[in-house]
Amino acid sequence: MNMRADNTNAPILSVHNISKQFGGIRAVNGVSFDVRKGEILGLIGPNGSGKSTLFNCILGQLKPTEGHCEINGRSTDGVRPADLSLMGVGRTFQQLSVFPKMSVLDNVILAGQEHQGSMLSRLLGKPDAGLTGKAEQLIEFFRLTPYRDTPAGSLSYGQQKLVDAAMAFMAGPGIVLLDEPAGGVNLTMLGHLKERLVTYNREHGTTFVVIEHNMEFVMSLCTRIIVLAQGEIIAEGTPDEIRSNQMVIDAYLGG
Amino acid sequence: MAELIQILVSGLAAGSIYALAAVGFTLLWQASQTINFAQGEFVMLPAFFVLIGMTVLGLPMWTSILLALVLSLLILGVAFKRLIVEPMLPHGTLPLVIATIALGLLLKESVKEFYGATAQPFPAIFPQTVYNVAGASVSVQDICNLVVSMLAIGGLQLFLNRTRTGRCMQASAQNPAVAEILGVNVKRMVLYTFLINAALATIASVLISPIYLAKFSNGETLGLVAFIAAIVGGFNQIRGALVGGLLIGVIDNLSAVYISAQYRAAMPLLLLIAIILLRPQGLLGTPEGRTV
């Protein structure tokens, strides 16, 4: 049906035996998994299961106590956040990441690394480094065209999440990490967001890793799901397998 | 009518210089939450750099102005940021405000101590000619001051909106954490803001000193007027600071002629009170929630 199960390639993201210790608490304990090109992987787990810690270790924002992560074969250890986007990694944020007084278009252009290049080209070169076309395509894709020139801060929360997503795709990434994309978004907008992500995945083969609390959203979006509890992987499989897994049910219901 | 034109022109000319200082005020606030109560002294000081260049070093006027610009960029831009703002900002806005008040006093007293307490004549940059336009006396200096200030502010707006560096500066001011993650060098953008403020202060200083003479205490009024202009226009908008500056210049001149020369200094304060009561975000500003 689509490219999601393209399994001939080497993994785009490899997590090797990651552990993270905070004082006496082991937030993540020996987690390993691979993500292949075109997959939509969901990373779920109850509060305090270590999802966000793992996410930050993958992004190089936290240094794991043990283990390491590779994106396209390159270690993310010690990588500056800005370099991630140059490595083709896009991300969205749990908190909104828009620049409130700038137009939607300017926000998306800015996410396309327009600040790269020499000082002279930044001062005298094209104001958008030739990124307007691509930005407009993404704005169109997320159906934000009517708000192209509106300050991003005056859009609804859900619309800002869409701007956030458009920004994450702007660097032309091979992989996008979405941190709780459904948080605080109303149902209509959520359906829209999900539909757009699936379409983008089908059309471009972009890989997604999604951290999410909203089970319905994850179950309907992802091709594979990994469940964390107390810092360890307790289950892994398709949405249907996860739904019927007794350990997952117990972990979520505190059984 | 002729008198009114005359008052409007000189009001706009003075107001445009206030606007330069006010724009700097708003820039620093947006980029680094710095309320610079030494802003008036920042405008007072470069004139003395020019005088030092001309009288002590014997340089020609334009070379001295260039020297003043370089010194201002270094002292009022780089050193101000590195030595005062960066160490104080982590302690919150209020300690920084107090530090800038102290800096203002230091600059003022230093000029008084090392250069002199008397008002110093300052060379005119533009011809002092006065033309008669429809019965009104319009001075070339006023017109030139207005034009130079407007060009400076217009150029700044173009820079901020049309260049990639300018947009990165806006992004750094609006959401520094995310700008950093996108790879914008936020620290450098903040430094640019301080340099721009220093340059605006130098321009204002060179424009205003031929009119009011260079005096150590010039900053008192200028700083207050720039602060009021920024609040009246809207603290988070450059064009707000521009409108605020022009408005205060015009109101000041109008009230001196039509109300009372003695109470002219009170007019900007009355305007400030009215704005705070009726439209606290300023004429063009947008409401802003910020924890301080």
Residue of B nearest to A94 (CA): B178
Backbone angles phi, psi at B131, to 5 degrees: -105, 155
The string of pLDDT tens digits covering residues B202-237 is 999 999 999 989 999 999 989 999 999 999 988 878
> What integer pLDDT is reported at residue B184 of this predicted model?
83
Check whether B75 has a pLDDT greater than 90. Answer: yes
Cβ separation A110–B183 shorter than 8 A: no
A1 in contact with B, Cβ within 8 Å: no
In angstroms, rounded to a whole number, what is the distance separating the alpha carbons of residues B164 and A109?
10
> What integer pLDDT is reported at residue B97 of this predicted model?
92
Task: Return the structure tokens found at B258.
Answer: 């039509």
Decide if B191 contacts B95 (C-beta within 8 A).
no
The verdict on residue B121 lying in a domain is yes
Q: What is the mean pLDDT of residues A165-187?
A: 83
Half-sphere exposure of A190 (CA within 13 A, CB side): 16
Going from N- to C-terminal start, the domains of chain A cover 1-86+222-255, 96-154
Write the secondary structure of B158-173 as one string of H (helix), E (strand) and C (coil): HHHHHCHHHHHHHHHH
The string of pLDDT tens digits covering residues A195-240 is 999 998 998 888 999 998 888 888 999 999 999 988 899 999 999 9
Residue of B nearest to A170 (CA): B182
Write the secondary structure of chain A as one string of H (helix), E (strand) and C (coil): CCHHHCCCCCCCEEEEEEEEEECCEEEEEEEEEEECCCCEEEEECCCCCCHHHHHHHHCCCCCCCEEEEEECCEECCCCCHHHHHHCCEEECCCCCCCCCCCEHHHHHHHHCCCCCCCHHHHHHCCCCCCCHHHHHHHHHHCCCHHHCCCEHHHCCHHHHHHHHHHHHHCCCCCEEEEECCCCCCCHHHHHHHHHHHHHHHHHHCCEEEEECCCHHHHHHHCCEEEEEECCEEEEEECHHHHHCCHHHHHHHHCC
Cβ separation A99–B179 shorter than 8 A: yes
> What integer pLDDT is reported at residue A237 of this predicted model?
92
Pairing of strands A13-22, A66-71: antiparallel
A111 in contact with B, Cβ within 8 Å: yes
Task: State the nearest Cα–Cα gap between A112 and chain B, in angstroms.
Answer: 8
Cβ separation A101–B164 shorter than 8 A: no
Cα B265 to its chain centre, rounded Å, is 18
**Most confidently predicted of A50-59, A185-194, B13-22:** B13-22
The verdict on residue B282 lying in a domain is no
Cβ separation A102–B165 shorter than 8 A: no
All residues of chain B having their beta carbon less than 8 Å from the beta carbon of residue A85 are 182-183
In angstroms, rounded to a whole number, what is the distance separating the alpha carbons of residues A137 and A140?
5
The string of pLDDT tens digits covering residues A35-61 is 999 999 999 988 888 888 898 888 888
Decide if B156 contacts B203 (C-beta within 8 A).
no
> What integer pLDDT is reported at residue A91 of this predicted model?
82
Report how many domains make up chain B: 1
The verdict on residue B283 lying in a domain is no
Interface of B with A in 150-179 (CB under 8 A): 162-165, 167-168, 170-171, 174-175, 178-179
The verdict on residue B270 lying in a domain is no
Q: What is the mean pLDDT of residues A133-160?
A: 90
The verdict on residue B239 lying in a domain is no
Of the partner residues A83, A106, A127, the one whose CB lies closest to the CB of residue B163:
A127
Residues 6+ apart with CB under 8 A from A34: A11, A13, A14, A15
Q: What is the CA radius of gyration of chain A?
A: 18
All residues of chain B having their beta carbon less than 8 Å from the beta carbon of residue A128 are 164
Percent over 70 (pLDDT), chain B:
98
ipTM: 0.76
In angstroms, rounded to a whole number, what is the distance separating the alpha carbons of residues A66 and A73?
18
Task: State the nearest Cα–Cα gap between A115 and chain B, in angstroms.
Answer: 6
Task: Return the structure tokens found at A98.
Answer: 């828009």
**Most confidently predicted of B61-70, B85-94, B247-256:** B61-70
All residues of chain B having their beta carbon less than 8 Å from the beta carbon of residue A82 are 180-184
Cβ separation B164–A97 shorter than 8 A: no
Residue B139 pairs in a beta bridge with: B130
Q: What domain range includes position B197?
A: 2-219
Which CATH fold topology does A1-86+222-255 show?
Rossmann fold (3.40.50)
The verdict on residue B242 lying in a domain is no
In angstroms, rounded to a whole number, what is the distance separating the alpha carbons of residues A97 and B179?
9
The verdict on residue B279 lying in a domain is no
Cβ separation B182–A110 shorter than 8 A: yes
In angstroms, rounded to a whole number, what is the distance separating the alpha carbons of residues B107 and B131?
38
CA distances to B110, B198, B213, B231 from B227, rounded to whole Å, are: 23, 16, 21, 6
> What integer pLDDT is reported at residue A4 of this predicted model?
45
Check whether A179 has a pLDDT greater than 80. Answer: yes
Cβ separation B183–A116 shorter than 8 A: yes
The verdict on residue B214 lying in a domain is yes
Check whether B44 has a pLDDT greater than 90. Answer: yes
Residue B46: exposure state from Cβ atoms within 10 A (0-12, 13-18, ≥19): buried
CB pairs under 8 A between A and B: 73
All residues of chain A having their beta carbon less than 8 Å from the beta carbon of residue B181 are 81-82, 97
> What integer pLDDT is reported at residue A31 of this predicted model?
92
Residue A14 pairs in a beta bridge with: A34, A70
Closest listed residue to residue A12, CA positions, set A175, A249, A244, A144 = A175
Cβ separation B182–A111 shorter than 8 A: yes
In angstroms, rounded to a whole number, what is the distance separating the alpha carbons of residues B48 and B122?
9
Cβ separation A115–B181 shorter than 8 A: no
What DSSP string describes chain B?
-HHHHHHHHHHHHHHHHHHHHHHHHHHHHHHH----TTHHHHHHHHHHHHHIIIIIS---HHHHHHHHHHHHIIIIIIIIIIIIIHHHGGG-HHHHHHHHHHHHHHHHHHHHHHT-SSPBP---SS---EEEETTEEEEHHHHHHHHHHHHHHHHHHHHHHHSHHHHHHHHHHH-HHHHHHTT--HHHHHHHHHHHHHHHHHHHHHHHHHHH-B-TTHHHHHHHHHHHHHHHH-TT-HHHHHHHHHHHHHHHHHHHHHT-STTTTHHHHHHHHHHHHH-TT-SS--------
Of the partner residues A81, A109, A123, the one whose CB lies closest to the CB of residue B181:
A81
